[in-house]
Structure 1
């Protein structure tokens, strides 16, 4: 498949994983990290809404200077039993996170913002991830590898963190940080990308 795009695309994220996923569309795009703080106080138990809020802020931080572009921003959070698990600040915190998630099912929620033509649209996708019962040797070795330190929840499903996972229910790429199938659906419906002339867009 080869898509074409109606306007230049900017990915408002420094994440190499999101860059890799967006590249699946085969479209040219530039990366412009937003550098928006992720330390926004969570004043609600609406975790999906929180992820959408962060995605909105990241998207708009770049869109302000690139109004004629398609700007895509995203934020991914990990949640279990009403608790938010951000990127760990230390190896000790990473171990704590992973021990608490061991043998349990948690939610990975990604909020995505799309800005174009003066309008921001935001959506979120949730995937359920179940961890195996983690033994201390595996857990310690994974944390010592350094892999957990830049990832929400303290693990990456696309790296050695896959060894911690029993199963997932939902979008694998959402766990990586960008639900590309849903994003593609939105971009096509907005007539921002297409496969060929006459592609049946549904503008909304």
Structure 2
């Protein structure tokens, strides 16, 4: 059982994401949240999954020199890919509107990476899910942008919010991967740690 394996270990979640915190709590894991600034740039020749892993590793690396032997830092990154374009967090409501209009009625990919690091070991992996949305009306998109927070989310939406409830037609893969923390993969990685 994972909990006995983690006895005496301190999990550190290096993420501000309320969704990641919520999912980690739902796994009955005790953890503290510590966040440090990190450069999220990446080499231009990487594939989307390699980008997600690169950023998760960069987020963990900023903790390397301060880690205590009993600590395991958990970092992650989520990337939304549509027609091989990476959709980041929108900077304006207009950009959010454009992104959601593009995703309307179509399929896109969500890649969530994980990095686990302690003083002696590093594991990095990712999981991919495919999201199929219904055709959104301009009014539905505007309602979502006006009433929710698309600016802090890759791809301008949270699957667990109103837009996901009314628009998710089909999901291939893990719902939690789309939320930003592939819990089943994390469980496997923690057991392998």
Question: Structures share a fold, TM > 0.5?
Answer: yes
Residue in 2 that maps onto 1:52: 53
Residue in 2 that maps onto 1:133: 135
Q: What TM-score do the two structures reach when normalised by structure 2?
A: 0.92
Q: Confirm or deny: 8 A CA contact 1:72 1:112 kept in the other structure.
A: yes
Alpha-carbon offset, residue 74 of structure 1:
0.2
Distance 1:42 1:140 in 2: 34
Return 5+ residue gaps in structure 2 as ranges: none
Alpha-carbon offset, residue 107 of structure 1:
0.3
Q: Confirm or deny: 8 A CA contact 1:32 1:62 kept in the other structure.
A: no
Residue in 2 that maps onto 1:177: 180
Which has the larger share of helix?
Answer: 2
Distance 2:94 2:145 in 1: 9
Q: What TM-score do the two structures reach when normalised by structure 1?
A: 0.87
Distance 1:44 1:133 in 2: 33
* Secondary structure in structure 2 of the residue aligned to 1:79: strand
* Secondary structure in structure 1 of the residue aligned to 2:78: strand
In structure 2, the CA distance between the partners of 1:186 and 1:122, relative to structure 1 (3 Å rule), is same
Q: Map of 1:54-203 to 2, 5 A cutoff? A: 54-68=55-69, 69-162=71-164, 163-190=166-193
* Secondary structure in structure 2 of the residue aligned to 1:35: coil
CA deviation map 1:52-96 (0-9, x unaligned): 000001112123312421010000010011101001111100000
Q: Confirm or deny: 8 A CA contact 2:14 2:33 kept in the other structure.
A: yes
Aligned pairs, number: 189
Q: Confirm or deny: 8 A CA contact 1:45 1:82 kept in the other structure.
A: no
Q: Confirm or deny: 8 A CA contact 1:2 1:26 kept in the other structure.
A: no
Alpha-carbon offset, residue 181 of structure 1:
0.7
Alpha-carbon offset, residue 28 of structure 1:
1.4
Return 5+ residue gaps in structure 1 as ranges: 191-204
Distance 1:17 1:64 in 2: 27
Distance 2:145 2:97 in 1: 7
Q: Confirm or deny: 8 A CA contact 1:2 1:25 kept in the other structure.
A: no
Q: Confirm or deny: 8 A CA contact 2:39 2:58 kept in the other structure.
A: no
Q: Confirm or deny: 8 A CA contact 2:123 2:189 kept in the other structure.
A: no
4+ runs deviating over 3 angstroms: none
Alpha-carbon offset, residue 2 of structure 1:
7.9
